[in-house]
Amino acid sequence: MAKITKGQFQTMLIFLIPQVVKIIAEKYKKDQKTATRLFYNSELYKMLERESTKIWHFSPLTLFTMFDEETKTGNFNIPEEC
C-alpha cells in the first residue's frame, strides 16, 4: 500500500469519521453529539488516528462493526486484509 501524506490522511479522516458517527447514531439511536463522543472515546478511534495502523482504509461500515464489537465486548478484531 502506498504511503499517504499527513495532509491526505487528515483529509481522509475528515470525510471518514462523520460517516462512522452517522452509523453509530442510527444504530444506537443516539444524537450526533453523543455518537461522536462515544466514537472519540473508543480504542478504535485511537487506532484510527494513527496512520501507521492502516485501519483508515476500511469502509465506514467495517469501522462501525469494529466499534460495535468493542462496545459490546471491550475488544475488537482487525480484519485480516489490514
Give pLDDT tens digits for 53-70. 989 989 999 999 999 999
Give pLDDT tens digits for 5-41. 888 878 888 899 999 999 999 999 999 999 999 999 9
Query: What does 18-77 look like in DSSP terms, one character per residue?
Result: HHHHHHHHHHHT--HHHHHHHHHTSHHHHHHT-GGG-GGGS-HHHHHHHHHHHHHHS--P
Q: Whole-model pTM?
A: 0.88
